[in-house]
Amino acid sequence: MTTRPAPWPGDVLPGAAGPLPLRSAPPDGPADDEAVRWRLDAAVGAVDAPDVVFALSRHGRRTVRCGGTAPLPPVHRADLRYEIGSASKTFTGLLLARLTQSGVLSGGEPAAALLDPGRPASRDPVTLAHLITHTSGLPALPADFFLRALPSWRSNPYAGYPAGRVIDAFLRYRPRHRPGTRWRYSNFAVSVLGHALAAVTATPWEDLLTAHVLGPLRLGEVALHAEGPGTDATGHRRDGATPTPPLAVGGFQAAGAVRATPHDLLTFLEAHLDPSASPLAGALRAVRRPVLRRGLGHRHLHTVAWFQHPTDRGPMYFHCGATLGQQAFLGFHPGTGTALAAVCTRRFRARDAFVPTAYALLAE
């Protein structure tokens, strides 16, 4: 059960947070930098994948270390774009916060009314805030998704499910529980949010994200489509040897379409560490504020876009992502002035070391 019937992007959960944590003092100098390089090399070595990149920023000092089991690609690993899968939702959450901060819309608007204006109002509508906080009651994926995806299950299962089907599936769905009362992680819900934002602004999703997030943050190497092997990293199946085709997300763009270089991911995360100088300052502060507790004893804390965990140096924020051939971990820790973007090109397996290694590195 969640603790709020209608979470609102950027609201502070009572009793969950005070002022935003301050960044700690900068590191001492070269000796500290050497320790960071050593630690990143150890993290890269702990991950068994064809390509591995750990990119870390401490107080604005960037360190990027690469490795992997595959031969060196023609383009440096740190300069390639990687699929970040569900970590794309952090971009969508920031976009929603930006639009609410600028007065374009509010988190309490019913999504169905935006997607189908002539539709009769529901007594307990699914709002935009429900969609981004995974409290809409929608399942992880539409009921008919799996049947349509079966022919391309091992290559591109999302490609055959276009935007129109996502919207229709949402408008037909009847939640079992009142929106806002239960937490259930849902690619379906965040995808619907993307279509609702595009509808209310009369702007295609890619243009909307570019105008309000990518452009203001100067994320010039972020894309929503693959361009080719000279630009995009190649993913691999669980065996670590069989290449996978570039991800095509169909109508699920808002939930998983982002691909980016490690450097642009660090730029994105650094903006969250210190929003004060950013044109998106208000939205960046909003997505750091807790809005939701869930789980046994309500121990799990969420913001609009991030999972938040406590540490002895204050809260850290993170989100993972995985596709059929790649994995990503994005996180930032204001108390230590640290941002971490980690990527690898092997599909997730049982006892995979990638996420635990990245999480432990950020939590240090």
pLDDT in tens, 243-272: 999 999 999 999 999 999 999 999 999 999
Determine the Cα–Cα distance for residues 87 and 342; give it in Å rounded to an integer: 11
CB atoms within 10 A of CB 151: 10
Host H or E run for residue 58: strand 52-58
pLDDT at 348: 95
Beta-bridge partner residues of 232: 81
Determine the Cα–Cα distance for residues 244 and 66; give it in Å rounded to an integer: 21
| Mean confidence (pLDDT) of the chain | 90
pLDDT at 17: 45
Judge whether residue 29 has pLDDT over 70: no
Q: Is 354 buried (19+), middle (13-18) or exposed (0-12) by CB count in 10 A?
A: buried
Q: Which of 8, 12, 24 is nearest to 58 (CA)?
A: 24
pLDDT at 24: 54
Question: What is the band of 12 on the pLDDT scale with cuts at 50, 70, 90?
Answer: very low
pLDDT at 120: 82
If one compares 230 and 208, the residue with the highest pLDDT of the two is 208
Question: What is the band of 3 on the pLDDT scale with cuts at 50, 70, 90?
Answer: very low
DSSP 116-146: -TTSPPPSSPPBHHHHHTT-S---SS-TTHH
Extract the tokens encoding 102. Answer: 């600028």
Judge whether residue 8 has pLDDT over 60: no
With beta carbons less than 8 A apart as the criterion, state whether 215 and 203 touch. Answer: no
Judge whether residue 21 has pLDDT over 60: no
Is the alpha carbon torsion for 248, 230, 259, 99 positive or negative? negative
pLDDT at 18: 44
CB atoms within 10 A of CB 240: 17
pLDDT at 295: 73
Host H or E run for residue 360: helix 354-363
Judge whether residue 138 has pLDDT over 70: yes
pLDDT in tens, 279-316: 999 999 999 999 988 876 667 789 999 999 999 999 99
Extract the tokens encoding 152. Answer: 């391309």
If one compares 280 and 104, the residue with the highest pLDDT of the two is 280
If one compares 218 and 34, the residue with the highest pLDDT of the two is 218
Judge whether residue 218 has pLDDT over 70: yes
Question: What is the band of 199 on the pLDDT scale with cuts at 50, 70, 90?
Answer: very high
pLDDT in tens, 49-83: 999 999 999 999 999 999 999 999 899 999 999 99
Q: Which of 298, 273, 293, 267 is nearest to 285 (CA)?
A: 273
pLDDT at 32: 77
Determine the Cα–Cα distance for residues 328 and 332; give it in Å rounded to an integer: 14
If one compares 235 and 9, the residue with the highest pLDDT of the two is 235
Judge whether residue 152 has pLDDT over 80: no
pLDDT at 254: 97
pLDDT in tens, 162-182: 999 999 999 999 888 889 888
66, 114, 115, 172, 262 from 118: Cα distances, Å: 53, 9, 9, 15, 44
